[in-house]
Structure formats: structure tokens, C-alpha cells
Amino acid sequence: MPKLKIIVGTVYGGALDVAEQVSPVFEQAGYDVVIIEQPSVNDLIDEPPDLALFCVSTTGSGDFPGDFVPFVRQLKSQPPSLASLRYGLIALGDSSYGDTFCGSGRALDEILADLGAQRLGERLEIDAMETFMADDAALPWVESWIESQGLGT
């Protein structure tokens, strides 16, 4: 059974809620799913998943959630090759923050690309100004992501 790691960065739990809500959709598509809340680079290197989904919110002024910061620091200080990593990215933010909208998700996407990882499809950006429950945007996106990328097993 292929393995999916859903890697979460959250302050208030919204991104974790998204991870928990989409998890059964991947299980139905044939994945063994694990949700990781305080990730480390080892989660991607030691036991590399067949697929990763990052669910990250933005805090401060375009900043990573506190629990996610050590992971990003590790990616920068000991850059691993992520050439075999295929991933999707769901960014949670709020457009009332202007230029820093989804800043954390966008920055993570750039870091992953620089390390050679391959994003499948487009990044989903969920705007709290438009979508009260992030799941309402995430669930249909995941369903169509699995289908359009041929990720079902």
C-alpha cells in the first residue's frame, strides 16, 4: 500500500483539521496515511513517503507556524535532496493580510522546489475571508487532485 504523509503546520488547528478531513479520501484511494504535526526532515528522508501533502497556515506577517519553524530551519541548514519527493500543497491564509497572504505556504513551496521536489498540480490557497470552513475548499480540491494526477491506486 503506498504511503502518504500529510505534513501539518498550524497555529489554531485549522490546517490540522484539513489534514484529518482529507485523510479518509486518500485512504479510500488506497493510501496508508499518516499525519505529522511536528515534522522533521527525517520524515521525508529516512522513510520517504510515496506522496506528501503539506497543509500549512500562515501567522505573523507571512511567517511559518511556530511548530513548523524547526522543520524549515532544518531544510535550510542541512539541505537534503528531495528529488524523489512528489507533493501537493494546501496553504491556509487570509487575504486581509495583503502581501503576506499565504506567505508561509508560498515560501515552503519555493524551498521544496529548490530542493528538487516535484509539486503535482497547482497549490491550493484557502482564503479565510472567502471560506469559513477550510474543509469546504480542501475536500473537493483533494478529490480532483487525486483524479487529475492519477493518484488513485
Ligand X SMILES: Cc1cc2nc3c(=O)[nH]c(=O)nc-3n(C[C@H](O)[C@H](O)[C@H](O)COP(=O)(O)O)c2cc1C
CB of 104 to ligand X, least distance (A): 7
Residue 113 has phi, psi (to 5 degrees) of: -65, -40
Q: Of 88 and 93, which CB lies nearer to ligand X in the complex structure?
A: 93
Q: Of 82 and 89, which CB lies nearer to ligand X in the complex structure?
A: 89
Q: Of 3 and 123, which CB lies nearer to ligand X in the complex structure?
A: 123
Where does this chain bind ligand X (CB under 6 A)? 10-15, 57-62, 92-94, 97, 100-103, 128
- Contact yes or no for 103/93 (Cβ under 8 A): yes
CB of 101 to ligand X, least distance (A): 4
- Contact yes or no for 70/42 (Cβ under 8 A): no
Q: Of 14 and 39, which CB lies nearer to ligand X in the complex structure?
A: 14
108: left (phi over 0), alpha (psi -120 to 50) or beta: alpha
CB of 16 to ligand X, least distance (A): 7
CA distances from 76 to 27, 68, 148 (A): 32, 13, 31
CB of 132 to ligand X, least distance (A): 10
CA atoms within 13 A on the CB side of 45: 13
